[in-house]
Structure 1
Amino acid sequence: MVSYSSSEMKRNMPSPCDILSYLPDNVIENILIFLPLRDAVKTSVLSKKWRRNWVTLPHLAFDDTFRNKPPRELMLTIYQVLLLHQGPILKFTLSLPGFKCCPEIKHLISFLARNDIQDLTLCFSSSDWSRGSPKLLETIFACLQLRHLHLSYCLFDPPPTFEGFDNLISIEFQDVPFEVDILKTFICKCPLLERLTLKGCFYIGNLDIDAPKLKFLYIHARWHATFLPSNAYRKALKNSETSVIIGFFRSLPVIESLNVGYQCWQFLAAGNVPDRLPANLKYLKTLELPALRFEFLREFSCALCLIRSSPNLQKLRLGVGYTKSDTADNVKTVDKFVESQDFSDISLNKLREVEMQINDFSKPEMEFVKLLLVKSPLLETMHIRQRDGDFYNGYRILKEVTRFRRASSTAEIIYFGPNEKP
């Protein structure tokens, strides 16, 4: 047995002023990763051991913490950091308000490509965007190890020689313009793609997605066409037996989360809407329909089709779209449709959370709430938000809803009036 005197133990313990030097390397790395890059560099003054710890960081982010640096000074700082850096750079972020794309970016991306970059974010200034920018970004397509790509306010035009990103699993494009079919072709060259986010992109034409592994799809569009055919084609669909919704979801077999906006919703409701899809969306867990109009038969039946076809749905969020005041005839049509329905084939055994916005609690809206409550044995919360109306109408709605039968004995119904906040 070995024993130490108290004086010997004190000699072997680190000095209180240098205790940071004795932290394990993995602890130090985790601390630095969660610090802003500027602060991580400043830790070099803490102790001798920390002096060069930051130079091996695999994640580098030039973000809001560098907002006060002029563009030339910022690029010089980036070059200095890269010059001192050692080891691979797995994640790189360049996202500053007002930052303008410049020729040096091309060389920067080339450097990152040689360092096996896997996660790349480039967000440029909207005021600087121009159609003369593509050549500055051609080097992106040399980053063959990319797994995550996020681009904002820049042109995206793969060169003819581009063969694809074999490892890419997520894409986020914001205000990125495309030539017709460019995105379709690009997605086909990303066989592992699981997440696709498109915000404010335009000139996209008729978007056709072929991504068999896609699990998450978010589209917020202000485009000329997004999943939308021409007006002539849309008119032809209106009275045809073709079901657009079947073709749409056939190309998304493993989708887990889906947000369907107004324009896309109009497209899905075109043609002959079936009671359910040929194949269930068995991976779909979250469904958001922020602009559903209950007074229109095609849209109401389309929502029922999706719910029937989503046996593992866990979260459902429903908003209401803008409707004209004269919808009485439409409501009567939907009422008759609801009365003719047999809902015995609808099962929502995993649904736990519902958020629903309503107009005036029309009969279609009321029947929809009834359906969700009676078919969801695991339901935990249902939030109902009234968009318009007054206190007395809200009281009537709440009183009526609380009387509906529920499959879940623990389901909580939470009501918010037009001016109430959570």
Structure 2
Amino acid sequence: MMSPKGREHCQGLPPDILSDLHDNVIDVILMCLLCKDAVRTSVLSRKWKYHWCRLAKWMFDESLWSTQKDKLYPTVKFRKTAYLLLTHHEGPITKFKLDITYMKECPKIDNFLYFLKKNELYKLPSSIFICLQLRHLNIHYCSIHHHPSASEGFDSLVSLELCRVTISSELLGRLISHCPLLEKLVLKIAKTLNVTEVNAPMLRSFEFTGSVSSIRLKNVPLLAKVSLICENSSMEAEKFDYAKFFHSCSALEHLFLNFRYSQFFADEAPTRLPFYLNRVKHLHLSHVELKESYTRSCALCLIRSFPHLEYLKIEVFSTRLVYNEADSGIQESLELERFSDVTFNHLREVEIISFRGTTPEMQLIKILLAKSPVLVKMYIDPAILIDTGSEILAELVNFQHASPEAEIVSPYVTMFGLLLIDSY
């Protein structure tokens, strides 16, 4: 029988801290460990015994079975270990990596593929549509099949994010229309959709990644911020008339467009859009290949169409890092005479990212400096610093400047000790 002192000692022991940890905390701890070490935590307490079975990310390599004393053929022990872990696993697997690069013989992995195939996308339950007080909803990596009825929906939802979900065009459009207070919408849809209409009268921010031609803005009178990224690297480039796309965006103020894999107009790019978007103040164009005539025309069309533009950022894209080259492929010149009817009366800041010193880039800078009477700063970020940077700066200094306050800021200024503002 335990002595009184012994009983007092037991009663004074601290509680089991490991068992009292919240499940989410245990999940985070296990995700930081190697698979082998995560499984070893099963001996810590009863609560930890099978917690490793719910891990969503698995990395299988020889660290699972190899030790200095191993004498078994590695593939034998590997199969036994891997099957043991997978058969005890519960829930979805979001990441599975198998690294057996340095083995002379690979075990059969058909059973692994069959096991992973069973871990299909989580199907969103229909009960989610009766959460009438829900205000923010982020759904990642699942499938949505339930069609909400007229009595179902998210009457209080303010923001909705669907990332890598499987959903039909009809259901997506219906889901958006059932959110009358929706202000922020983020869609990252990998699968190409049929045309989906966005009917959201309170929408103010819209980010879309996918096949841009599958989206139609129908009723968005308050939409102020738009980000469009086309993801069709292995497919035919987008053929979509952006003039029609922006026609209903009368309140647009911030616009981000990624030019990669996109054809912005069904036919030849016009000089400007058939209508002005007078509220656009911030324009960010990414992956702009200025050496390509069509892309260059699209960029200039958009810049011309925003008469109240204040901030312009252009990320130049090129497959080569070549400065001051002959630009033999350029057939079209951007002379100032062609912009005699254009003045950027509100443009205050310009950023040129990944600048390479090519002829189209220099011509664009020349135009912006000459046609922007209130320009305060032009930041030029080169792709790489080169020895001829001083020559490029000297040429920029000689360009006509419509604004007496304009300052050119660039790493070249620091590198060569030049202050362009003193050269005017």
TM-score greater than 0.5 by the shorter chain? yes
Tell me the residue number matched to 2:309. Answer: 313
Tell me the residue number matched to 2:369. Answer: 373
Change (3 A) 1:341 1:283: same
Matches within 5 A, 1:190-209: 190-199=179-188, 201-209=189-197
Tell me the residue number matched to 1:400. Answer: 395
Partner secondary structure for residue 331 of structure 1: coil
Residue 259 of structure 1 deviates from its aligned partner by 1.7
Count of residues paired in the alignment: 296
Residue 261 of structure 1 deviates from its aligned partner by 1.6
Change (3 A) 1:177 1:363: same
Tell me the residue number matched to 2:165. Answer: 176
Q: In structure 1, list runs of 5 or more residues that go unmatched.
A: 1-61, 71-96, 101-123, 238-242
Residue 249 of structure 1 deviates from its aligned partner by 0.8
Change (3 A) 1:255 1:236: closer
Q: Does 1:411 align with 2:418?
A: no
TM-score, normalised via structure 2 length? 0.57
Residue 282 of structure 1 deviates from its aligned partner by 2.5
- C-alpha distance in 1, partners of 2:249/2:286? 20
Partner secondary structure for residue 198 of structure 2: coil
Give yes or no for contact 2:310–2:349 (8 Å, CA) kept in 1: yes
Give yes or no for contact 2:289–2:317 (8 Å, CA) kept in 1: yes
Give yes or no for contact 2:277–2:305 (8 Å, CA) kept in 1: yes
Q: Which amino acid aligns with 2:29?
A: N
After the TM superposition, which of the residue ranges 291-300 and 358-367 deviates more from structure 2? 358-367
Change (3 A) 1:186 1:386: same
Q: Does 1:67 align with 2:64?
A: no
Change (3 A) 1:287 1:159: same
Residue 321 of structure 1 deviates from its aligned partner by 2.3
Give yes or no for contact 1:216–1:255 (8 Å, CA) kept in 2: no
Matches within 5 A, 1:353-364: 353-364=349-360
Matches within 5 A, 1:255-270: 255-263=252-260, 266-270=262-266
Q: Which is higher, the Rg of structure 1 or of structure 2?
A: 2
Change (3 A) 1:143 1:412: farther
Change (3 A) 1:347 1:197: same
Change (3 A) 1:253 1:224: closer
Residue 293 of structure 1 deviates from its aligned partner by 1.0
Give yes or no for contact 2:121–2:142 (8 Å, CA) kept in 1: no
Give yes or no for contact 2:129–2:148 (8 Å, CA) kept in 1: no
Partner secondary structure for residue 210 of structure 1: strand
- C-alpha distance in 2, partners of 1:194/1:327? 49
Q: In structure 2, which of residues 277, 282, 286 is the aligned counterpart of residue 281 of structure 1?
A: 277
Q: Which amino acid aligns with 1:67?
A: V
TM-score, normalised via structure 1 length? 0.57
Change (3 A) 1:224 1:286: closer
Q: Answer 1 or 2: which has greater helix percent.
A: 1
Give yes or no for contact 2:134–2:156 (8 Å, CA) kept in 1: yes
Residue 151 of structure 1 deviates from its aligned partner by 2.5
Change (3 A) 1:176 1:353: farther
Q: Which amino acid aligns with 2:407?
A: E
Residue 375 of structure 1 deviates from its aligned partner by 3.2
- C-alpha distance in 1, partners of 2:25/2:399? 51
Q: Which amino acid aligns with 1:393?
A: T
Tell me the residue number matched to 1:153. Answer: 141
- C-alpha distance in 1, partners of 2:131/2:249? 27
Partner secondary structure for residue 284 of structure 2: strand
What is the RMSD of the two structures over their aligned residues, measured on CA atoms? 4.3
Partner secondary structure for residue 344 of structure 1: coil
Q: In structure 1, which of residues 127, 134, 138 is the aligned counterpart of residue 95 of structure 2?
A: 127
Q: Does 1:299 align with 2:291?
A: no
Give yes or no for contact 2:285–2:313 (8 Å, CA) kept in 1: yes
Q: Which amino acid aligns with 2:142?
A: C
Change (3 A) 1:381 1:224: closer
Give yes or no for contact 1:269–1:299 (8 Å, CA) kept in 2: no
- C-alpha distance in 1, partners of 2:209/2:409? 28
Residue 404 of structure 1 deviates from its aligned partner by 2.5
Change (3 A) 1:386 1:236: closer
Change (3 A) 1:190 1:281: farther
Give yes or no for contact 1:386–1:394 (8 Å, CA) kept in 2: no
Give yes or no for contact 1:316–1:354 (8 Å, CA) kept in 2: yes
Give yes or no for contact 1:171–1:196 (8 Å, CA) kept in 2: yes
Give yes or no for contact 1:258–1:286 (8 Å, CA) kept in 2: yes
The sequence identity of aligned pairs, in percent, is 30
